[in-house]
Amino acid sequence: MNFNSLGFLIFISITFFLYYLPFLKRFQLAIVVGASFYFYAYSDPWLLTLLLFSIFWNASIVYLIQLPDFESKKAVLGLGVVLNLSVLFFFKYSGLFAKTFLASSQGSDLHWIFLIPLPIGISFYTFHGISMVVDFYRMGPEILKERITYPNLLLKSSLYINFFPQLVAGPIVKAKEFFPQIQAKNFKDIPWISATKILILGYFLKTVIADNLNDLTFVIDFPYNSHHSSFALILLIFGYSAQIFADFAGYSLIAIGTALLFGYQLPTNFNFPYISSNFSEFWRRWHISLSTWLRDYLYIPLGGNRKGNLRTYINLFLVMALGGLWHGAEWRYMVWGIGHGLLLLVERFLEQNLPFSLPKNRIVLFLKGTFVFLSVSLLWLLFRLPNFEKAMDYLGLIGSNLTLATDWELCSFLLFFSIPVFLYHAYGWYKERFTQASNEWVSVVGYSFLLFLIVLNRGPSASFIYFQF
């Protein structure tokens, strides 16, 4: 069920009404869990099968881990991590590895592997399962502050893994941050102003910016790209950068705002990433919940930066490569991750070995930020185009299409719908550097204008880009 659909509006209205009915208050947890199952199974009920198994085995493992007299906690933890990764590999990557390494084998009957469906949101709820077993192993009773029965744990695990606002595309929530929030919620405690602002901004980014840009950036694909000038092709790269930010940040904001209506706080997922002046900063601002998950559950367990420079470089490279592959079962996503990994390695090496320090004035920061944005935007081509070769062909067209006439109508619409994203980032840059008293009237007018645009200037409805991951 898409957030930007009439069905979702009806679904959330009914769920919200039942959730806060006074005589149903003791059933709040069951209501939101049931609603989340319905939300996930809306288009394909068979998807529930794997999700239910995931909830069952993760809850069972956590229950064993929290038993004070159970002596094989580390072994059970290992089993939990292996089970989650095995399911992710089988459903998401078995086809990729079979196609790469086994398809040429004579006499092998592998066609069934390519028929394995990709369950929606498996990348996200698998990471939730890993966080759950690891956090309970590390923290034990500190997470829940009490011993609970297995049925109660199963219900709370269902909410954590299956909470509908963040189920399909995040933000990724750590178990240690979510479980303490599971308690009775009161209608009077809803932060209406914050939730409304977040939802308006999220729907504006998705329906007005991302959906309209989606109707333009299809030109990036072959053969459309071969008929456009170099200027238009360059502008399309920036347009897609604006689109992918607006699409994913929009989803995250809608998820965060919706969760607030039900009394739960999800982590911030984007913090003006395109104002970053280096690649480390970009990953502290982009898809924050993924980068912190990879840091806490992969980079640090691998040794982080505690075992010398060479090991740090290896860890960074490995984490970024695997983080890239997490995005999709195609090698182009790993190439994308490797590209970011190499940029992080070079950046770290130069910071440690340059015999001088660059001045930190605004001109230098602007130039560094421009380089980061250009690099990130070029790498986004691997998300939009089907393979690495097509991305290289696209760059070749930029050099060869210099004499083609420019489609100024396309370019003007690209600029019209991209500029708000960059103005939003300019506002973020200003906000971080200058403090000023907030003007409530300006805020009300601004959000009212965004709401007006949502009603009158929505683009053709399109699925969220991150649904494919």
Same domain as 214, residue 89:
no
The 10s digit of each residue's pLDDT in 136-170 is 999 877 887 777 889 999 999 999 999 999 988 87
The alpha carbon of residue 81 and the mean position of all alpha carbons in its chain are separated, in whole angstroms, by 21
Cα–Cα distance for residue pair 256/192, rounded to 1 Å: 13
- The verdict on residue 163 lying in a domain is yes
Same domain as 266, residue 159:
no
pLDDT value, residue 458: 83
Mean of the per-residue pLDDT values for the chain?
89
358 phi, psi to nearest 5 deg = -70, 140
Q: What angle do CA 421, 423, 426 make, to 5 degrees?
A: 115
pLDDT value, residue 102: 67
Calculate mean pLDDT across residues 338-348: 94
- The verdict on residue 1 lying in a domain is no
Of the candidate ranges 227-236, 241-250, 324-333, 433-442, the one whose mean pLDDT is the lowest: 433-442
DSSP 123: H
Q: Which band of pLDDT confidence, cut at 50, 70 and 90, is reported for residue 34?
A: very high
- The verdict on residue 323 lying in a domain is yes
| Catalytic one of 228, 287, 327, 340 | 327
Containing 393, the helix (H) or strand (E) segment is helix 388-400
Cα–Cα distance for residue pair 37/30, rounded to 1 Å: 11
At residue 425, does pLDDT exceed 60? yes
Ranges 56-60, 68-72, 94-98, most confident = 56-60
At residue 108, does pLDDT exceed 60? no
Percent over 70 (pLDDT), the chain: 94
Please say if 425 is a catalytic residue: no
Number of domains in the chain: 2
Residue of 159, 148, 92 whose CA lies nearest to 122 = 92
The 10s digit of each residue's pLDDT in 272-315 is 999 999 999 999 999 999 999 999 999 999 988 888 888 999 99
- The verdict on residue 340 lying in a domain is yes
pLDDT value, residue 469: 63
Cα–Cα distance for residue pair 89/102, rounded to 1 Å: 16
Same domain as 246, residue 200:
yes
Calculate mean pLDDT across residues 235-248: 96
Same domain as 385, residue 350:
yes
pLDDT value, residue 60: 94
- Is the CB of residue 3 less than 8 Å from the CB of residue 9? no
Q: Choose one of 148, 163, 187: the last residue of a domain.
A: 187
Same domain as 199, residue 179:
no
Q: Choose one of 166, 187, 208: the last residue of a domain.
A: 187
Cα–Cα distance for residue pair 18/113, rounded to 1 Å: 43
Helix axes 6-19, 28-41, angle to 10 degrees: 170
pLDDT value, residue 205: 96
Same domain as 89, residue 38:
yes
Cα–Cα distance for residue pair 199/218, rounded to 1 Å: 27
What is the residue range of 109's domain? 6-187
Helix axes 230-261, 192-203, angle to 10 degrees: 150
Same domain as 196, residue 176:
no
- Is the CB of residue 338 less than 8 Å from the CB of residue 317? yes
pLDDT value, residue 142: 80
Same domain as 358, residue 260:
yes
Calculate mean pLDDT across residues 350-357: 80
Same domain as 216, residue 183:
no
- Is the CB of residue 270 less than 8 Å from the CB of residue 285? yes
Residue with tokens 């209406």: 192
- The verdict on residue 417 lying in a domain is yes
pLDDT value, residue 63: 92
Structure tokens at 47: 């998807």
pLDDT value, residue 442: 62
- The verdict on residue 136 lying in a domain is yes
CB environment 397-417: b (16+ within 10 A), e (fewer): bbeebeebeebeebbebbeeb
Residue of 341, 337, 332, 469 whose CA lies nearest to 394 = 332
DSSP notation for 190-226: --HHHHHHHHHHHHIIIIIIIHHHHTTGGGGSTTGGG
- Is the CB of residue 19 less than 8 Å from the CB of residue 259? no
Same domain as 391, residue 324:
yes
DSSP 379: H
Q: Which band of pLDDT confidence, cut at 50, 70 and 90, is reported for residue 370?
A: very high
Calculate mean pLDDT across residues 419-424: 95
Contacts with 422 (C-beta within 8 Å, 6 or more apart), sequence order: 242, 274
Q: Which band of pLDDT confidence, cut at 50, 70 and 90, is reported for residue 127?
A: very high
**Helix (H), strand (E), coil (C) string for 295-350:** HHHHHCCCCCCCCCHHHHHHHHHHHHHHHHHHCCCCHHHHHHHHHHHHHHHHHHHH
Residue of 3, 469, 449 whose CA lies nearest to 210 = 3
Contacts with 463 (C-beta within 8 Å, 6 or more apart), sequence order: 2
Which amino acid makes up residue 282? Answer: F
pLDDT value, residue 58: 95
At residue 106, does pLDDT exceed 60? no
Which amino acid makes up residue 322? Answer: L
Same domain as 215, residue 71:
no
Same domain as 366, residue 346:
yes
pLDDT value, residue 340: 96
Calculate mean pLDDT across residues 333-340: 95
The 10s digit of each residue's pLDDT in 376-417 is 999 999 999 988 899 999 999 999 999 899 999 999 999 999
Cα–Cα distance for residue pair 209/303, rounded to 1 Å: 41
Q: Within 10 A of 308 (CB to CB), how many other CB atoms are there? A: 10
Contacts with 339 (C-beta within 8 Å, 6 or more apart), sequence order: 379, 382
pLDDT value, residue 117: 73
- The verdict on residue 221 lying in a domain is yes
Is pLDDT larger for residue 183 or for residue 443?
183
Q: Choose one of 158, 187, 216: the last residue of a domain.
A: 187
At residue 190, does pLDDT exceed 80? yes
At residue 461, does pLDDT exceed 60? yes
pTM of the full structure: 0.92
Please provide the distance, in angstroms rounded to a whole number, between the alpha carbons at the two ends of the chain. Answer: 16
- The verdict on residue 127 lying in a domain is yes
